Copies of this chain bind each other. A is one copy, B any other.
Amino acid sequence: MSVVALAWPEPGSRAAPAPESRCVQCLGRQQSICADLPPEVLYEMERIGRVRRLRRGEVLSWEGDEIYDVGNVRDGALKLTASLRDGREQILGVAWPGSFVGELFADEWTYRATALTATTVCVFRRTDLNMLAASQAAVATSLLRRLSTDLDAARRSILFLGRKTAEERVASLLVDMRRSTPCDVTGATPMSLNRQQMADLLGLTIETVSRKIRRFERMGVIELIHTRLFRVRDEVSLSRLAG
């Protein structure tokens, strides 16, 4: 069973390049809101959608803003964050390609969506999408499927943040990265997040993240090729450390 609490993409799901012409473009991606839609419905989706491009660090939506648009991540990744008044920040989840971003019914954004890398999002006016969902059961079903997945991931995060130790959290993250991101020919896995982002995701500080990673290295469980590139040397120990 997966110990992992984070809405990581399925292995390989980030691989397929995007045909530029299509807005929706989620064909073949699992769990996208347009997965398995019949062609005529996809055509409708294309019609009501438009492409929005974000550069690294750009914010798609601010918490508290009124919601007009919702979207579907096409390439790249967004971090969804919320913060407390004094500035403490927490990543609620990461939206990978195929992820749905936004709320269908609530009136304002409850989180901020920021591009972690250059990202394209297929954006719909919320009213358009709601109308389409009301008339096309397949669209509603896709949305349901997507929300179910996200809810499950969010709930795993709750267990994760409520009950796991720092060491278990960091180990889980490494396990996840290993499983979800394609490693290069030498078997090394790139880390797609920097230490601060890992800390925000795991509810820790950068120092703790750094210390734990170095600890795993000293234990011989992983090998740090570079600060953002690692290789797992002892799969079993690592997954045991993950809890």
Contacts and interface: CB of A to CB of B under 8 A. Distances in A.
Contact of A137 (B90, B104, B134): B134
Contacts of A144: 104-105, 133, 140, 143-144, 147
Nearest to A111: B155
Given A140-B137, A143-B144, A151-B151, A159 B103 contact: no
A155 B110 contact: yes
A82 B133 contact: no
Contacts of A226: none
Contact of A141 (B140, B154, B158): B140
Number of copies of this kind of chain in the complex: 2
Interface string A73-97: 0000000101111101110110000
Interface stretch (A45-53, A115-123, A160-168, A208-216): A160-168
Residue among A85, A90, A158, A243 with the most chain B CB within 10 A?
A158
Interface residues of A, number: 46
Contact of A103 (B133, B136, B152): B152
Interface of A: 80, 82-86, 88-90, 92-93, 103-106, 110-111, 133-137, 140-141, 143-145, 147-152, 154-159, 161-164, 202-203, 243
